[in-house]
Structure 1
């Protein structure tokens, strides 16, 4: 029975690696996954038409890019007519709009295709992304992928840092980057770093 899954965590927990392993497992069994990635995150794109999903440990796979206003139900339905899809795997799911999350629930409920979303729960300021907030509200299954703070506690927060490695207290919700711009911390060290104005 198809379900809507949300795998969430702070950064550097292995969400993308887990997604790519799932894609490999489906392909190994002769089933077709459809990988989707937001065009907004173009760190790994080689052309404007081709998106790539890439993990920190070197795994990668081509993906279909989507825009903030893409109708994901229509996109999946069209792809499913061409070739039977076993599942939909979505990287950086925090960048989905609320409407797109509801469209993905229609993929599950009307087309009977499992949808597995991987993304951040909150932004660098402790606020939920609209896509993540909606997934937390309506997904059938919520699964946390854990990572650790430098102190050994579970990291649940993401701190944005500037070019000097100092905490950023305000700014746009979305700023694409990797380890050069973000650090995963436990809540205690997240708050202390913001208060002290340096990584604690």
Structure 2
């Protein structure tokens, strides 16, 4: 099955490919594709907007996810604005720096947090399946590790002293919000793991 991932972020496409393995051919959005609206107040609303927006523009099913870090001590920030926490066009480093400063402004070296991931698959004008998952843990005021992307250098999942950025991809996928959501997606959408019928 060919699935378009609603992103041009190569890190995200690679992570989905690592989690799903060979059960689907995953491709990123064409570079000329316009940007989908992300005006929802929840991860699920934003994932649904993106999935339907791109599904009306490509022929294959579209898998859209919206994910981010939620820190209750910071009023839920970065939340649905995780990718643009430090402003439009901000990169991972700037977003991480802003989060570290926000923690320190509160006098916090670490705080309870969770990563959330909502996934929506749509085809043409119809939503096929929606799933959502999260992983609890701690966010820290100093980055560690060189792996992963986003807020991975600042987040350690519950029961682990290491940050996501200190784990191999295989280790991270045991815990991560995206991996948990994909496993739920595979349960809820059998077409994703169904083998193609042999051609006569």
Task: Work out whether the TM-score is over 0.5.
Answer: no
TM norm structure 1: 0.26
Q: Which has the higher helix share?
A: 2
